[in-house]
Amino acid sequence: MTDFFNNLKNRTPYNAKLPEDMLYYSNLSNHFPISRIPPPGIHKWLSEHEARKSINYKEFSYNINDIGFRDDYPGMLEPCIGYFGCSCTFGEGLPTEETFFHIISNELGYRSLNLGMLGTGVDRIHMTFAAAANIWNIKIAVITLPNHSRISYTDKNGEIVNINPPNTPSVSDENKKLADPIRIQSLYTKHFNNEYFYAHAKDHIQGIINVAKLNDIKLILGTWSSTTERLIQKCFNYNSIMLDHGDKARDNLHPGKISNKQYAEEIIENIKDEKFFE
């Protein structure tokens, strides 16, 4: 138990000081219940869906950096725009140049810090943002929130496991190596109703807002989920920017280049008009 608490202490977001401290929050440590992210390097695709890609999509590869996120990251003192969210922020199924984070940063002349992570929920986005704010000179944060019901927990080894209610995860031999399936299943009980997930998400959105205020970071809140959009409107009186799935990326699942471009253009307009979350 002492080792467990020491792990928690060392991995508290506010103790993050260097880029390598982000490994704990990265795709390489993203148990969902198993990670789909390959090791650092250049990779052709992330999933079988992409391997069956349409001929309409050009060839491209993913660059997974040394801390487990996509593409290169800026120096610690270099002004940048931070991008936080799930696979939609990561840009799964799209080459970098067609993603919203690239379009925004290229238009505004900032370096990109893409800390998008596959399958993550609002709580882990909050932790990732809090850690990154201690490390990089983030001027603007674009946070694209997923469905409100995604949550995570810390297993007995101190690792974070992402889960997505209401779908019950399989308990395969591969999953057992990385997570505690009994603990996962216990979270799918009648005690964790939809109201719980709304309240849980609300608390972590408030935490995101607090991190931005404490670090003088201009905040843009977006989402691809209608339920999360409603939560932000009702609890924070804020009209978040919607990332639509009007077209599909190479994996035929995530938003495509047209949706990313439209999302980027709306965010750019808000930034230029200084319409940030206050």
Joined together, the tokens standing for residue 249 give 């990326």
- Which residue would you say has higher pLDDT here, 228 or 196? 228
pLDDT at 260 > cutoff 60? yes
pLDDT in tens, 77-90: 999 999 999 999 99
- CA angle centred on 162, ends 197 and 41, rounded to 5°: 145
Task: Supply the pLDDT for residue 46.
Answer: 85
Joined together, the tokens standing for residue 129 give 């943002």
Domain ranges within the chain, ordered by starting residue: 2-46+65-272
Token pair 């990332």 is at which residue? 243
| Strand ranges, E, within the chain | 41-43, 62-64, 80-85, 111-114, 138-145, 151-154, 160-163, 218-223, 241-242
Inter-residue contact 219 to 141 (CB < 8 Å): yes
Confidence of residue 177 (pLDDT cuts 50, 70, 90): very low
Count the helices and strands in the chain (H runs, E runs): 10, 9
Task: Supply the pLDDT for residue 74.
Answer: 97
Superfamily designation of domain 2-46+65-272: SGNH hydrolase (3.40.50.1110)
